[in-house]
Amino acid sequence: METVVSPLDNTEFDVDTVRRHFPILGSRVHGHPLIYLDNAATTQKPQAVIDAIVDYYTSTNANIHRGVHQLSVDATRMHDNSRAKVKSFLNADEIAEIIFVRGATEGINLVASTFGKERVGPGDEVVITAMEHHSNIVPWQVLCEQQGANLRVAPIDEQGQLLWDDFESLINKRTKLVAVAHVSNALGTVNPIREIVSLSHQHGAAVIVDGAQAAAHMPVDVQDLDCDFYVISGHKLYGPTGIGVIYGKRELLESMPAYQTGGDMISSVTFEQTTYNTLPHKFEAGTPDIAGAIGLGAAIDYLKQLDWPAVCAHEEELLTHATDALSSINGVRIIGTADEKRAVLSFVIEGAHPHDIGTILDHEGIAVRTGHHCAQPVMERFGVPATIRISLGLYNTRDEIDATVCAINKVKEVFRC
**Which residues are known to be catalytic?**
374
User: Taking the CA atoms of the chain, what radius of gyration do you get in angstroms?
Assistant: 22
Within 8 A by CB and 6+ apart from 169, the residues are none
280 preceded by a cis bond (ω within 30 of 0): yes
Measured distance CA(320)–CA(337) in Å, rounded = 11
Please give the distance of CA 212 from its chain centroid, rounded to a whole number.
1
Measured distance CA(192)–CA(194) in Å, rounded = 6
Q: What is the three-state SS of the chain?
A: CCCCCCCCCCCCCCHHHHHCCCHHHHCEECCEECEECECCCCCCCCHHHHHHHHHHHHHHCCCCCCCCCHHHHHHHHHHHHHHHHHHHHHCCCCHHHEEEECCHHHHHHHHHHHHHHHHCCCCCEEEEECCCCHHHCHHHHHHHHHHCCEEEEECECCCCCECHHHHHHHCCCCEEEEEEECECCCCCEECCHHHHHHHHHHCCCEEEEECCCCCCCCCCCHHHHCCCEEEEEHHHCCCCCCCEEEEECHHHHHHCCCCCCCHHHEEEECCCCEEECCCCHHHCCCCCCHHHHHHHHHHHHHHHCCCHHHHHHHHHHHHHHHHHHHHCCCCEEEECCCCCECCEEEEEECCECHHHHHHHHHCCCEECEEECCCCHHHHHHHCCCCEEEEECCCCCCHHHHHHHHHHHHHHHHHHCC
Q: What angle do CA 383, 387, 388 make, to 5 degrees?
A: 160
